[in-house]
Amino acid sequence: MTPLGTQGTYPYPNEPTWSRSEKVLARTVFDAALKRELQEVMQKTKQMANQINQPSDLWDLERYLTERRKDIDSKYDFRSSRLTKVLGKLLCERRVSEDELRALRKDKVEAIRSCAKCLSEDAA
């Protein structure tokens, strides 16, 4: 039995240990994905706003923004204990590519891939 606190946390008890340099690499991937996602929300917001022609469209836009804000806030969590899951989710949503992960160590890429696979099966 692994003592609590030495390796990862629930629900990923096998979360690998991230070195400082790997965290820097992961941060770059993470930041690029966040930037792209925010750009996407900005573009979609302008599009929805341009198409407003009745009051209910206003509250649809408000709901869209609230949902995107909450989703982005909960998804982009850069704590080490969450990195595999966060990058796995981003890979699963195709917000990061396999190519962007190439600079990471093989054990990390495997763990991220396995997490993405698990999430994609869960969503199916």
- Which residue's CB is nearer to a copy of itself, number 49 or number 118? 49
Run of H or E including 9: none
- Which residue's CB is nearer to a copy of itself, number 2 or number 47? 47
Structure tokens at 88: 């796995």
CA atoms of 66 and 72, how far apart (whole Å): 10
* CB 93, min distance to a copy of itself, A: 18
Residues that bind a copy of itself (CB under 8 A): 38, 41-42, 45-46, 48-50, 52-53, 55, 57-59, 61-62, 65-66, 68-69
**Selection from 108, 95, 114, 117 nearest residue 23 by Cα:** 108
* CB 33, min distance to a copy of itself, A: 14
* CB 80, min distance to a copy of itself, A: 24
- Which residue's CB is nearer to a copy of itself, number 3 or number 55? 55
